[in-house]
Structure 1
Amino acid sequence: MPRISRFFGIVITMYHDEHPPAHFHARYAGKDIQVRISDGYVIGQFQPRAQGLVLEWWRLHREELEENWRLVSEGKEAKWIDPLE
């Protein structure tokens, strides 16, 4: 499970063998969500504050996430993305 970022206890991952549409996973307090990169659509549910932090991070790093999706789709290593501060 390639981690691509971590902040405030939230772990962000992107897998090599994933299905479209382009998305990433976030894990926090034993719960998982998926976030579609194109529009921020969320599957699953976190505590509202944690989910808001993930979406704020997504807004800041959308282009990097799109590039990482391209990389993992080609079987390459995803790049680390700066955490939310």
Structure 2
Amino acid sequence: MVFTDEGRSLHDRIIRLALLRETVALSALSDAEVDLFRNLLRRIHASLPAVETASADFIKQERQALGMSEDAPARRRRGGRPG
């Protein structure tokens, strides 16, 4: 990825804000708690492929239960309302 000068400047400003927010948010925790929190996040991140697999399996089972083919497009509701 190549940034324009304007894009690089925007990226740098966003990174500074993100780091500030992280510092303030984590300031409520001790160093040991921050280490634990980061370790927990790494473990959760490592499990995301299993989450995706479980989701795909669930969707497959639901489609089968509804008599839909596996390759049928997902049904979408307008306006985000049920029914």
The TM-score with structure 1 as length reference comes to 0.25
> Higher helix share goes to which structure?
2
Larger radius of gyration: 2
- Select the structure with the greater relative contact order (CA < 8 A; seq sep ≥ 6): 1
